[in-house]
Amino acid sequence: MWFRNLQLYRLPAPWSVTLESLDQQLQRGSFQRCPSHEPQTRGWVAPRGDGALVYAQERQWLVSLCVEQRLLPAAVVNDTVRERAAALAEQNGYPPGRKQLRELRDAVTAELLPRAFTRRRTTGVWLDPIHGWVGIDAASPAKAEEVLEHLRWSLDDFPLLQVQTERSPLAAMSDWLAAGEAPAAFSIDRDCELKSMSEEKAAVRYVRHPLEGDEIKAHIAAGKLPTKLALTWRDRISFVLTDKLEIKRLTFLDLIKEEAEKNAEHADERFDADFALMTGELTRLIPDLIAALGGEMPIA
């Protein structure tokens, strides 16, 4: 239930879509099993497994996108194509041309696809219509875009915007490391990645290493800039901030999870408690992070 990553986006607040309308619109793109002739299918599933496509608590909503893929390794297709191409060459007295090879590859793929194993993965989406946040539990913008594409297809209106701050994370993280101190509410942890902006793109990575020494400052003075920096917020959440304003390796510390355990006895109660605490913490963390980056740029 706890998100591990956060690709963050903006909605005009308050968002006018009602819970009932959202659920009805998501039904258009509900999940269906992957047909034997398709390499992939995707759709909305119940986050809690109770049939409802939107889990709601205190105007905080959770939806889940399930992607099912057929696993057909390229090596298997290539081996089969080579065998059949060799047989055609022996039969005809000359090797098949490019067009015939493409047709052969398509035929082999269509033949093998129904026999391929399937794999599923589910991505959570947190919707905060009150404060106008959308957070996707995806490790990369590409994975998040897969979810956003299906949301745009499913919903009548989804006016999503990128989060823009007055200071770039790159500049802010450079200043924090140079000063050896993060803004109020945050502390610098022990992981960092610095990259040169030159064509060589030289990079230095620190893992579980003190970051307050002269060595880090020397790298920054030499032109290397931080693209990733591990931080902790109010001793409650640790994460890695990237130069693209991605929040990765999101970890809710033991204190928060202990609070959830105190308030739950059964699985359903645990889900409720986890979601309430997670969204409650995120709605406090995000404004502090935005403020540390100089505030949010006005939405045009």
Are 239 and 250 a contacting pair, CB within 8 Å?
Answer: yes
What is the rounded end-to-end Cα distance, in angstroms, of the chain? 34
Q: What is the pLDDT of residue 254?
A: 75
Query: What is the model's pLDDT at position 205?
Result: 92
pLDDT by 10s per residue, the chain, length 300: 799 999 999 987 667 889 999 999 999 999 988 877 788 899 999 999 888 999 999 889 999 999 998 877 888 878 888 888 888 888 888 888 888 888 888 887 887 777 878 788 999 999 999 899 999 999 999 999 999 999 999 999 888 999 999 999 999 999 999 888 899 899 999 999 999 877 777 889 999 888 887 888 888 888 889 999 999 999 999 999 999 999 999 999 876 667 666 666 677 788 888 899 999 999 999 999 999 999 998 866
At 103 the pLDDT is 86
Q: What is the pLDDT of residue 257?
A: 67
| pLDDT at 255 (0 to 100) | 67
Predicted TM-score (pTM) of this structure: 0.84
Determine the pLDDT at residue 144.
Answer: 96
Comparing C-alpha atoms, which of 212, 227, 150 is closest to residue 180?
Answer: 212
Q: What is the pLDDT of residue 262?
A: 67
Contacts of 171 (CB under 8 A, 6+ apart): none
